[in-house]
Amino acid sequence: MNVKIYSTASCMYCKLAKEFFNEHDIKYEEFDVGNDLEKRREMVEKSDQMGVPVIQVGDEIIVGFNKPLLSQLLKIK
């Protein structure tokens, strides 16, 4: 499953999401939208949001760290 996270260095929920991925050996691609204007535009285009994290799992876009939904999408028990 292709997982992407759009985050910033100071975002607590971004850190929690990345810890969750690491705990479950989920490979993900991270984009720091605090420093990468192109990826920030991409994030807003996908989510219509400026808040982080924005997480993409396959074709699904999740705004915020929604652990139950992530577990469901990633088939984690």
Q: Provide the residue range defining the domain that includes 36.
A: 3-73
Helices (H), 1-77: 12-23, 37-47, 67-73
- What's the pTM value of the predicted model, to 2 decimals? 0.95
| CATH number of the domain enclosing 63 | 3.40.30.10
Q: Count CB neighbours of 25 within 10 A.
A: 7
- pLDDT tens per residue, range 19-72: 999 999 999 999 999 999 999 999 999 999 999 999 999 999 999 999 999 999
CA 43 vs CA 25, 52, 61: distances in Å: 24, 9, 10
Q: How many structural domains comprise the chain?
A: 1
